[in-house]
Structure 1
């Protein structure tokens, strides 16, 4: 299924996306729900982030080509940082360009959406804890990253975690094409098969460090090819089976 969260007539609901129609849910995909008979055309609703998260756990340098472009060693363990809930931004939302930033980068990423509380989960048992997958953009104030000597400041501004437009449980995360486009030009192009640390390992690894809560997302890393964006740019993250996440730079 393809899950969306949306606003319609000042009411926020979850729904199932079926082509250009949304079937309204009674309840939530993170608990019990029923699919109602109410169907709303997609163009009549405002899509929100497909879930609320308590944290977005992000993996750095998880594609070999991305590590090489920064001339960094290939990690032997995941590089982990966290984006706060205030960084969340919906499809078609505007990324705020911070005044103290001189270079703002896009990073196309496959995001894992946690479906139920996960703690100390073994790799073989990860499946039931994943609701599905979505597109994400790990927006980064690149010039602040080396100055700070750590990554959280450069990656945690408000609006720095666009994700959506929907969550799908219909894709195989081990083999998905992934790309980014800025103003229609393809700048990143790779496949999730090139991940150094795959989805089951990451969920298990992180669950043994912190409790993953329903709605939390894990950004799995970005391929090589990142570069800067400018005011007024349109950035798109396209992942096979997961649609297009589109945002503008304010």
Structure 2
């Protein structure tokens, strides 16, 4: 229903995710310190079940690249999946071209396929380049521990996001700011303004609102002596 309404011209609005303000802060910090900003969208390709996480990370990358281009901030985008590479290059190039600037070849780096290669490459880059901020939005596995920890050790501001509960817990323990689960999708939709993505975010909120209403209603009825247990046991 929501997608059909979008196709008919309906414009859905969602609130700005606080994590985007953290990205503004990260770019500003790197600009002041004259240190590069690191960005990564995880392990997944642009197809399959985890593709939504990758595309959300790429959408946020366009916003980050726009700020870096505006303030002449050096950025390093690492990639460990060759299917991501053209999307990452296009996202960065489009934002720099929009302000009349050329993207240095060193900004987008393919570091080899796999989580081991990504972990080793990122740790080396963090140490050599002395990054000022580390942004990780996408699908991650155990390599996110080493990458996030290395960013912390070099004094970089950390922003992370993942839809996997196990990895979100790790990012929350190390990073300064975390986009938890659907916040990452919402941030990507907010930036891209894609009607389908926005309608999906709005539609997914309805069951949550309904559940919250039922919860509040149940608490009120319980205060008046209504016993749900007896009702269910009948």
TM-score where L is the length of structure 1: 0.22
Q: Which has the higher strand share?
A: 1
TM-score where L is the length of structure 2: 0.23
The structure with the larger Rg is: 2
Q: Which has the higher helix share?
A: 2
